[in-house]
Structure 1
Amino acid sequence: MSTFKQVEKLKKRVNFLNKKVKTLVRRKGEKNTTHAGHVENSPENYYKYMNQNTLRLLLKNKSIKFTDPLKFNDPMDSTVPELKLNTKRLKDTMMSVVSKDFPELSDYQSEINNRLSVDERHWGNEIKAISDELLNSWPDIISTFRILSLTTKPDNLLMWSHYADEHRGVVVKFKKNPSFGSPKKVNYKNGHQSLNNAFNYMASMVVKLEAQNGFTDIHSDKFSDATLNIMLRYFFMKMSEWSYENEYRIVYHESNTKVRKIHNNLDLVEVNENDIESIIIGSSVSPLRAKRLTKLIKGRLPNTKVIVQQYKRVGWQLKI
């Protein structure tokens, strides 16, 4: 049994994954593409920080902006990790295959083990090339998705500064089950291991099936689909440094019927005006400007019971 041949087959399978993933993305784009995030009880409300221009867009079009993940302020957001092959696991798998399926080689176990140990560093180089190819193609894949970020915290000082024009914008409070989608919680723990664990499992399975001449297109389709689903989970995984945002997300493929593109670069999803429960005006908005904003909001949402409030700074806190 040639270990180099096994690794070459593995390399071809994973390289082929790129084409399969892109095909699956187009196919899944016809459906609702909200993927499972961190599972827990749904919060009572969701909040969206925005500047005044984005608020006017929401009020005028009854729509909310969904963002291309490549335009996020965090360049690590929605990216996948570098693949790292567990060479020991792969070697143990090969030894197991030799022992079980090639009993005639039982007298050469020690020699085979030594040869595989020498080959480990070659496998690492091969997987590095595969990882680079996946990482290079991933931006093209995620750029076809659109994301809405929400939170359960309306009074976070950093978020007011970063996302609401330094307290000159607003926070929109949405009801528990908004019409524009089902928000899923972002996971800030250990997400980077998911793809590597799955990849190493796939590598081991490919080695076993190839050795038994049993790896078919059906297996390739299943592994590709599973890998895509794992990769798409990274829309709901972020580094722990961002945990203060307590973020929830809705993700759609750009081809989803809910997504409407205007001005060639703005993707909107319709919002039912009854989804909006209240709007909080930032603490740096002047009283006169706050009064005009309140009039604008009430005029655009005449059939709702929306409550308009404003934060005031009290020491280092925000209070209604």
Structure 2
Amino acid sequence: MKIKKIQTRFGIKEIEMIPWNGKEIPRFVYKYRDWKNEYHKRLLLHQELYLSSPDEFNDPFDCKIPVAYYLLKEDKNLENIFLQQYIEKHYHNLSEQKKKEKFNLLKNKGNYKNNKVIEQINSEIQEYINTTAGIFCASAINDIILMWSHYANAHTGFCVGFDSKKLFNFFTDGGPVNYEKDFPLIKPTESKSEQWMKQIFSKSDIWDYEIEYRLHKQNAPKTVCKIPKETIKKIIIGYKMPQSDMDDLKKIINCELPHVNLYKTEPAKNEYKLETKKI
């Protein structure tokens, strides 16, 4: 098993990695949950995952990176490549002479360089992403204080650890989020798959501490995906979860997920970090 060291704004994290479909993925991925949210409990009660639409994400830039059609105004070489690609895709049956005529016609019109047209095209691309991409977001780590604070109701919730291979096999594709300081540049000449990957898997580096992995299912936004029980391997309890809630959670685990290992977080005594202990 390989250990990968990942640098984040809060230091280096060491992640156990395993092979999957020609890639490397974490051995486990985690989902932070709020015990007070009845829908979050369904992950334990019914093994249901909710697949979000990108329009539900709280980051205003997440999955909303426009294609940089404005570059076609500035770069003549890029413009020529773009037009040639367009003609080969839509007019490949024409003779070479007719293709040249179509090339010149489109270039003279230059509709693709009009600001309103660019805005409309990117609006249509965004609508397509919102209505076709079903996304499940997880993390490669289970001990980040901010994530327990934000996503697990101030440490009163829980965190679910999944067997990554079993989980990833239920999705069309999956992989790590790419964290970048600079706004991603998506060229109009890039393939649709390249554009899609940048749009779905790019985020600002202010989020790099999450070490997020995304799982994607086509044509499944705002839907529920049921997974086998054995996909769930760990449950980690937030250190501030009330005893009554902890008792209820343990009852569910004993009934529905008796194979799962149970842990609890505790603040370290002399460091700004959480420790995870088996119970």
TM-score surpassing 0.5? yes
In the alignment, the residues of structure 2 paired with residue 137 and residue 183 of structure 1 have an alpha-carbon distance, to the nearest angstrom, of 24
Matches within 5 A, 1:113-152: 126-144=113-131, 145-152=133-140
Aligned to 1:185: 176
Report how far residue 138 of structure 1 moved.
2.9
Matches within 5 A, 1:76-115: 76-81=61-66, 83=68, 84-90=70-76
1:317 aligns to 2:244 (yes or no): no
Instruction: Check 1:123–1:243 CA distance in 2 against 1; reply closer, same or farther (3 A cut).
Output: farther
Report how far residue 127 of structure 1 moved.
4.1
TM-score, normalised with respect to structure 1: 0.61
SS at match of 1:309: strand
In the alignment, the residues of structure 1 paired with residue 159 and residue 125 of structure 2 have an alpha-carbon distance, to the nearest angstrom, of 32
SS at match of 2:213: strand
Instruction: Check 1:249–1:91 CA distance in 2 against 1; reply closer, same or farther (3 A cut).
Output: closer
4+ residue runs over 6 A deviation: 91-94, 122-125
Instruction: Check 1:166–1:65 CA distance in 2 against 1; reply closer, same or farther (3 A cut).
Output: same
Report how far residue 86 of structure 1 moved.
4.8
In the alignment, the residues of structure 2 paired with residue 59 and residue 156 of structure 1 have an alpha-carbon distance, to the nearest angstrom, of 22
Spell out, residue by residue over 1:98-149, the C-alpha distance to the aligned partner (whole angstroms, 9 max, x if none): xxxxxxxxxxxxxxxxxxxxx9xx9799342332112222332122221000
Instruction: Check 1:174–1:288 CA distance in 2 against 1; reply closer, same or farther (3 A cut).
Output: same
**Equivalent pair of 1:167/1:282 in contact (CA under 8 Å):** yes
SS at match of 1:230: helix
Aligned to 2:244: 288
SS at match of 2:24: coil
In the alignment, the residues of structure 2 paired with residue 92 and residue 175 of structure 1 have an alpha-carbon distance, to the nearest angstrom, of 44
Report how far residue 87 of structure 1 moved.
4.0
SS at match of 2:194: helix
Instruction: Check 1:82–1:177 CA distance in 2 against 1; reply closer, same or farther (3 A cut).
Output: closer
1:232 aligns to 2:223 (yes or no): no
Give the structure with the higher percent strand: 2
Give the structure with the higher percent helix: 1
In the alignment, the residues of structure 1 paired with residue 242 and residue 51 of structure 2 have an alpha-carbon distance, to the nearest angstrom, of 29
In the alignment, the residues of structure 2 paired with residue 292 and residue 92 of structure 1 have an alpha-carbon distance, to the nearest angstrom, of 60
In the alignment, the residues of structure 2 paired with residue 253 and residue 93 of structure 1 have an alpha-carbon distance, to the nearest angstrom, of 31
Name the aligned partner's letter for residue 194 of structure 2: I
**Equivalent pair of 1:44/1:175 in contact (CA under 8 Å):** yes
Report how far residue 49 of structure 1 moved.
0.8
TM-score, normalised with respect to structure 2: 0.69
Report how far residue 88 of structure 1 moved.
4.9
1:175 aligns to 2:131 (yes or no): no
Aligned to 2:54: 69
Name the aligned partner's letter for residue 278 of structure 1: K
Name the aligned partner's letter for residue 229 of structure 1: S
Aligned to 2:32: 49
**Equivalent pair of 2:65/2:184 in contact (CA under 8 Å):** yes
In the alignment, the residues of structure 1 paired with residue 79 and residue 252 of structure 2 have an alpha-carbon distance, to the nearest angstrom, of 67
Spell out, residue by residue over 1:284-318, the C-alpha distance to the aligned partner (whole angstroms, 9 max, x if none): 1023321221122221224xx20111112234321
**Equivalent pair of 1:48/1:172 in contact (CA under 8 Å):** yes
Aligned to 1:99: none
Structure 2: gaps (5+ residues): 1-21, 81-106
What is the identity percentage for the equivalent residue pairs of Structure 1 and Structure 2? 24
Residue among 244, 248, 255 paired with 1:299: 255
**Equivalent pair of 1:85/1:124 in contact (CA under 8 Å):** no
Name the aligned partner's letter for residue 124 of structure 2: S
Instruction: Check 1:249–1:79 CA distance in 2 against 1; reply closer, same or farther (3 A cut).
Output: same
In the alignment, the residues of structure 2 paired with residue 247 and residue 129 of structure 1 have an alpha-carbon distance, to the nearest angstrom, of 35
Aligned to 2:211: 246
**Aligned length, in residue pairs:** 218
Report how far residue 72 of structure 1 moved.
0.7
Aligned to 2:141: 153
Report how far residue 164 of structure 1 moved.
1.1
Instruction: Check 1:92–1:50 CA distance in 2 against 1; reply closer, same or farther (3 A cut).
Output: closer
